[in-house]
A and B are shown apart, each in its own frame.
Chain A
Amino acid sequence: MGKPVKQQNSFLKKLLTTRSFSILVVLIALLIIFTVFSPGGNFINAENIKVLLAYGSEFSIIALGVGVLMIAGEFDLSIGSILVFCSYLFLIFFKLNLNYFVVLALTILGGIALGYINAIVTTKGHIPSFITTLGTMMLWRGLTLWFSGGLQQACDVSSSSAFLSFLNGTIGGVFPVQALWFIIVGIILGLLLHYTRYGNWIYATGDNADAARAMGIRTHIVKMTAFIIVGILCAFVAGMQIARVSCFTSRTGEGWELKAIAACVVGGTSLRGGIGDMAGIFLGAFAISVIENGLVVLRIPYFWTYTVFGLVIVFSVLSSMYLEKQKWAQK
């Protein structure tokens, strides 16, 4: 009789002490605040939710990859620049009059190459990825600006309705397909991280690379695949963005690198690697999108976004550290 009750308690305790729980609380609080304070229920209306899910998911999808990379113990500050470079690649391939799916596939190959370059410089050159990707961040952005002349260029893919509905459609006319992609990528990376051998290698590599190596794990390959996952996601989102806005802009992705790290940290990922989970990263990425959207809807000046980001980051990290301490103190 007493046992099931106890089990229920321990389940509740487990839920309450998971790192991702604090971000869930933050997220719900944000949703309530924005719902209550938005003028005329602007936040919760169907049109805004559609915008939030379609636009926000672009950033969030990339943040999921950054989370995996951070668990492996590395950073990628170049995501915004990989994104813009891949957008430009998309534009080039688009001009060749290829099938748009082929254009996307070629762009993804480009993303793989850029991720690979980050990985090779970091692992073979023994350079901290913070520095490597700071360099590639400037390099890819700079090259893109040079090649494109910093101009917007039309890239209208609407002639292929299949391509449009693949990346910028809705499901049942309501649910943006971008949000579906966000969920799919979250599930795939979650499975990868928590239920596969490779996932265990990612954690081990980020937590103690020496131990991982002593146990026969090829840590440089683990890191390389994580960099490449980020590259693939950036390229995919580049295609997604072009499908939505029908043009190439050289300023896309600016400031995303730190926002992605913030999303992961808010979701309970450690800056030192080895700690984090996909549920937390997913919620963290979504929370960042919600904040950006909510503040716009509330018609609060843009600079407040950073203030709110700052408060949310500090609060969630403090609370998740507190909860973690509680968890192991009780055991």
Chain B
Amino acid sequence: MTTEANQNSDMVKMVDIHKWFGRVYALRGIDFNLKRGETLGLLGDNGAGKSTLIKILSGYHVADRGEIYFDGKKALIHSPRDARKLGIETVYQEQALAPNLSISRNIFMGREPLKGLGLLDKKVMDEESMQALKHLGLRLRSPDVPIITLSGGERQGVAIARAIHFKAKCVILDEPTVALSVKEVNEVLEFIRQIKREGISSIFITHNLYHVYDIAERFVVMARGRKMADVKKEEVTRDNLSDLVIKSAMVE
């Protein structure tokens, strides 16, 4: 294998992405890349365009202009289904799990294993779900428990376990630590480290650079639909990065 070339090549490359919502010019020509196995922190204030950019990558929105390359090939992503087929998994706050469904039904949602006659293979679903969670270091009592009974950290764990289990190539973590307790935040950060250990590329979107600084290798800062900075961790201290985010937001 051409490991050297693969490691340096881009998993995701977005070129000159523009997006309008009616009269709002949400993305003003963004170039964005994510390397193989890289963990990238995507930072910026509310309304900076982080979510819009990521929703274009995950198929929720379609860019008005620009191109996306995934794993070296030009990709046409028109729906979440397209994105998922490519291996792009999203771990969204509210959009990843069905609260009243069981853990195993959530993990296999849309990709349910079948035994003969088109029936669900519940046994495989349950066993593999528990394995996937254990692999992540998450010990839950039963695969039959509905998501609604889990803590916020555990819920993120289920979504991340699902991404790893299905061998995602790129995981999008949209504010995975928002509204969690300190203990849960640490739990979730540990899950994200596991994504990294698996060699999966990930984009970690957050306002909170303290959560992302330890984990990410590179940071992209956005403000008002533009990319304001793209820095490697070696190039910035935590305080520099903090200044960068604040200044980007202030520039007129």
Shortest CB–CB separation between residue A207 and chain B, in angstroms?
Answer: 4
Contact of B119 among A195, A211, A217, A218 (CB under 8 A): A195
Which chain B residues lie closer than 8 Å to A191 at the CB level?
A: 119
C-alpha gap A203/B119 in the complex (Å): 16
Contact of A212 among B58, B110, B148 (CB under 8 A): B110
Contact of A218 among B81, B90, B111, B122 (CB under 8 A): B81
Shortest CB–CB separation between residue A206 and chain B, in angstroms?
Answer: 8
Which chain B residues lie closer than 8 Å to A195 at the CB level?
A: 119-120, 122
Interface positions, chain B 112-159, Cβ under 8 Å from A, are 112, 114, 118-120, 122, 141-142, 145-146, 148-149
In contact, A208 and B145 (Cβ under 8 angstroms): no
Whether, in the assembled complex, B92 has its beta carbon less than 8 Å from a beta carbon of chain A, the answer is yes
Whether, in the assembled complex, B72 has its beta carbon less than 8 Å from a beta carbon of chain A, the answer is no
Contact of B80 among A197, A199, A213 (CB under 8 A): A213
In contact, B110 and A216 (Cβ under 8 angstroms): yes
In contact, B149 and A211 (Cβ under 8 angstroms): no
In contact, B94 and A210 (Cβ under 8 angstroms): yes
C-alpha gap A218/B59 in the complex (Å): 13
Which chain B residues lie closer than 8 Å to A208 at the CB level?
A: 94-95, 97-99
B115 closest partner in A (C-beta): A195
A-contacting 9-mer, from B7-15, B101-109, B228-236: B101-109
Contact of B100 among A199, A216, A274 (CB under 8 A): A274
- How would you classify the secondary structure of chain A's contact residues: helix, strand, loop or mixed? helix
Mask for A76-94, Cβ within 8 A of B = 1, else 0? 0000000000000000000
- Beyond A275-B100, A331-B149, whether A214 also contacts B90 by CB under 8 A is yes
In contact, A212 and B94 (Cβ under 8 angstroms): no
Interface size on B, residues (CB 8 A): 34
Contact of B109 among A215, A218, A275, A331 (CB under 8 A): A215
- Give the contact-size bracket for chain A: 20 to 34
C-alpha gap A255/B105 in the complex (Å): 36
In contact, B145 and A331 (Cβ under 8 angstroms): yes
In contact, A203 and B101 (Cβ under 8 angstroms): yes
In contact, B120 and A200 (Cβ under 8 angstroms): yes
Whether, in the assembled complex, A256 has its beta carbon less than 8 Å from a beta carbon of chain B, the answer is no
In contact, A217 and B98 (Cβ under 8 angstroms): no
Whether, in the assembled complex, A328 has its beta carbon less than 8 Å from a beta carbon of chain B, the answer is yes
C-alpha gap A204/B96 in the complex (Å): 11
Whether, in the assembled complex, B183 has its beta carbon less than 8 Å from a beta carbon of chain A, the answer is no
In contact, A196 and B98 (Cβ under 8 angstroms): no
Contact of B98 among A197, A199, A211, A328 (CB under 8 A): A211
C-alpha gap A307/B174 in the complex (Å): 50
C-alpha gap A208/B94 in the complex (Å): 9
Shortest CB–CB separation between residue B152 and chain A, in angstroms?
Answer: 16
C-alpha gap A211/B122 in the complex (Å): 21
Which chain B residues lie closer than 8 Å to A213 at the CB level?
A: 79-81
C-alpha gap A196/B116 in the complex (Å): 11
C-alpha gap A203/B108 in the complex (Å): 13
- Beyond A197-B120, A216-B85, whether A210 also contacts B105 by CB under 8 A is no
Whether, in the assembled complex, B84 has its beta carbon less than 8 Å from a beta carbon of chain A, the answer is yes
Shortest CB–CB separation between residue A149 and chain B, in angstroms?
Answer: 47
In contact, A328 and B80 (Cβ under 8 angstroms): no
In contact, A203 and B105 (Cβ under 8 angstroms): yes
Whether, in the assembled complex, A201 has its beta carbon less than 8 Å from a beta carbon of chain B, the answer is yes
Contact of B92 among A207, A214, A217, A275 (CB under 8 A): A214
Which chain B residues lie closer than 8 Å to A331 at the CB level?
A: 141-142, 145, 149
Which chain A residues lie closer than 8 Å to B141 at the CB level?
A: 331
Which chain B residues lie closer than 8 Å to A197 at the CB level?
A: 112, 114, 118, 120
In contact, B97 and A216 (Cβ under 8 angstroms): no
- Beyond A216-B84, A328-B149, A331-B149, whether A200 also contacts B96 by CB under 8 A is no
- Beyond A201-B110, A217-B109, whether A212 also contacts B98 by CB under 8 A is yes
In contact, A216 and B81 (Cβ under 8 angstroms): yes
C-alpha gap A313/B114 in the complex (Å): 37
Which chain B residues lie closer than 8 Å to A204 at the CB level?
A: 98, 101, 105, 109-110
Which chain A residues lie closer than 8 Å to B92 at the CB level?
A: 210-211, 214
Contact of A211 among B79, B97, B112, B120 (CB under 8 A): B97
C-alpha gap A203/B142 in the complex (Å): 19
Given contacts A213-B79, A215-B84, 11 further A-B contacts (CB under 8 A): A195-B119, A196-B118, A196-B120, A204-B98, A214-B58, A214-B80, A216-B81, A216-B85, A217-B110, A328-B149, A331-B145
- Chain A residues near B (Cβ < 8 Å): 191, 195-197, 199-201, 203-204, 207-208, 210-218, 270, 274-275, 328, 331
**What are 28 A-B pairs with beta-carbon distances under 8 A?**
A191-B119, A196-B120, A197-B114, A197-B120, A200-B105, A200-B108, A200-B120, A201-B110, A204-B101, A204-B105, A207-B99, A208-B95, A208-B99, A211-B92, A211-B97, A211-B106, A212-B109, A214-B92, A214-B95, A215-B111, A216-B85, A216-B110, A274-B100, A328-B146, A328-B148, A331-B142, A331-B145, A331-B149
